[in-house]
Structure 1
Amino acid sequence: MNVIIIEDEAPSARRLQRMLESLNVQVSQVLHSVEESIAWFSNNTHPDLIFLDIQLSDGLSFEIFDVITVKSAIIFTTAYDEYALQAFKLNSIDYLLKPIDDEELELAVKKYQDFKPINREVQLNFEDIKKLLVNPLEREYRKRFTVKVGQHIKLIPLDEVVCFYSENKGTYLHTMENRSYLLDGSLETVQEELNPEKFFRVNRKFCINIDAVKDIISYTNARLQLKLLNFNEQEIIVSRERVKDFKDWLS
């Protein structure tokens, strides 16, 4: 696999390169700007996969592809808020929120390996993504979920949800009544339908409701442990890479 990184912050690029090398993924080139990238693509064989930062020192990285025809799969690396993530997901192999989490990076690489395009150019709708970055659209988020209880369908308003979590390849909703219900779809799919002001993905397994946080406890390796209302089934740890974003979200 031939991989390059396009990232204007040298420490972030080095960290990502080390993380990829720990997964036995070799990075052949690191580029730092729109101008440098255009020059490189014009004179080199395009890689299989690009890890692409959105905002570079001399402009949005999409400007590269106004000049160069994309012949590589792309995984976005971005610090942008959740409003743009749906566009990233539809137009790329995956996206990774900064600071990048080790487990999510590994999953993104595996996703590329499982679904990599064969002998075709990647079609990215950069204009739609740029519109979202410059002028976020007003979104309608889910207000309730439907779950099946025996032969009945039950409506659960989001105000009654403590958290969403994944377990044994299933995705579950847990309520203030201390009951869990199986949902259709993945946790990623559910997360995209939630208001990011109210729900936060604290790690790979849990997305929590801010109103359900009962206690926050310092944990090992600069992490945080959460206690939620009416939820005692599993330990909930905010991953180290997400602690800062989590604290920002709380405030």
Structure 2
Amino acid sequence: MKVLIIEDEKPAARRLARLLGELGVVGPIMLHSVEESIAWFHDNEHPDLIFLDIQLSDGLSFEIFEEVEVHSAIIFTTAYDEYALQAFKLNSIDYLLKPIDDEELEAAFKQYQNLATNDKKLTLDFDDIKKLLVNPLERDFKKRFTAKVGQHIKIINADEIECFYSENKGTYAATIDGRNYLLDTTLDNLESDLEPKVFFRVSRKHYVNVNHIKDIISYTNSRLKIVLNRFKEQEVIVSRERVRDFKLWLE
């Protein structure tokens, strides 16, 4: 079985290769840019499976397929929000959100193996997916959330929320008045509700509102620490795997 990893962050590519090795994949090939990938596809037999990062250092990976007709199965590795990734589901494409979880990788790999065993081909409409990611569809994101406070229902405006965070299996909204409200949802479920230009998931535990960031500080292990205006209950750390995407989001 021939596997190709296209990922511009070399540490992330090496980690993915190591995880695939644990699943029995021997010697996956690693490429790191659009230009390098196009040249490789012209000169080599195409692989059975591609793990494809969307945003590469020299452009979107979709540009590869504008130059080369590829019939390999593809699993995307990306930091794009869940709403944009609905296009992948419609096209029967699997995807992994960064940082890649071991169990999710194993499940995606098994899904590919099942498709390959049944000789099913994935039909990819790259033009439609590219349009959705580059120019996201207009939609209304949630402007208000509710939380139960005693016998009352509290209405919380999204622009008043500094961050969403998880603690003791609960999900909370931390507001500009220093209050923390328990919500009947999860951080994963919030992904399709939040305006991606305003909220960013910096780690498995935190979503932050760009309008309430007071300071950003370099932190250990190439991470970043975010200081919000009022929220003090937890340290808000941008995980190393998300630092690059976070910086791009800020711009």
TM > 0.5: yes
Q: After TM superposition, give the deviation of residue 206 of structure 1 in Å.
A: 0.8
Q: For structure 1, which segment, 213-222 or 232-241, has the greater mean C-alpha deviation from structure 2 after superposition?
A: 213-222
Q: For structure 1, which segment, 103-112 or 135-144, has the greater mean C-alpha deviation from structure 2 after superposition?
A: 103-112
What secondary structure, in the 3-state scheme, does the structure 1 residue paired with 2:154 have? strand
Deviations 1:123-178 (A, max 9, x none): 54434213225644333222112334456543321012121123444433222341
Counterpart AA for 1:144: R
Q: Percent identity?
A: 47
Q: After TM superposition, give the deviation of residue 19 of structure 1 in Å.
A: 1.1
Counterpart AA for 2:233: E
> How far apart in 2 are the matches of 1:183 and 1:208?
18
The residue that corresponds to 1:75 in the other structure is 76
The residue that corresponds to 2:132 in the other structure is 132
The residue that corresponds to 1:37 in the other structure is 41
Counterpart AA for 1:180: Y
Deviations 1:59-105 (A, max 9, x none): 6244489x4545x3512347x79984453466532245xxxx6x435
The residue that corresponds to 1:94 in the other structure is 95
> How far apart in 2 are the matches of 1:171 and 1:114?
31
The residue that corresponds to 1:15 in the other structure is 11
> How far apart in 1 are the matches of 2:150 and 2:246?
37
Decide whether aligned partners of structure 1 residues 61 and 133 sit closer, same or farther in structure 2, where only a CA change above 3 A counts: farther
The residue that corresponds to 2:5 in the other structure is 5
The residue that corresponds to 1:180 in the other structure is 181
> How far apart in 1 are the matches of 2:86 and 2:231?
29
What secondary structure, in the 3-state scheme, does the structure 2 residue paired with 1:23 have? helix
Decide whether aligned partners of structure 1 residues 142 and 17 sit closer, same or farther in structure 2, where only a CA change above 3 A counts: same
Structure 2: gaps of 5 or more residues: none
Counterpart AA for 2:228: L
Structure 1: gaps of 5 or more residues: none
Q: How many residues align?
A: 233
Contact kept, 8 Å, 1:147 with 1:154, in 2: the verdict is: yes
Decide whether aligned partners of structure 1 residues 2 and 164 sit closer, same or farther in structure 2, where only a CA change above 3 A counts: farther
Contact kept, 8 Å, 2:5 with 2:29, in 1: the verdict is: yes
* 1:222 lines up with 2:222 in the alignment: yes
Counterpart AA for 1:214: K
Counterpart AA for 2:130: K
* 1:203 lines up with 2:194 in the alignment: no
> How far apart in 2 are the matches of 1:76 and 1:200?
17
Q: List aligned pairs for 1:97-108, cutoff 5 A.
A: 103-104=99-100, 106=102, 108=104
Contact kept, 8 Å, 1:6 with 1:33, in 2: the verdict is: yes
Contact kept, 8 Å, 1:174 with 1:181, in 2: the verdict is: no
Counterpart AA for 2:41: S
Contact kept, 8 Å, 1:94 with 1:108, in 2: the verdict is: no
> How far apart in 2 are the matches of 1:94 and 1:180?
32
> How far apart in 2 are the matches of 1:116 and 1:171?
33
The residue that corresponds to 1:189 in the other structure is 189
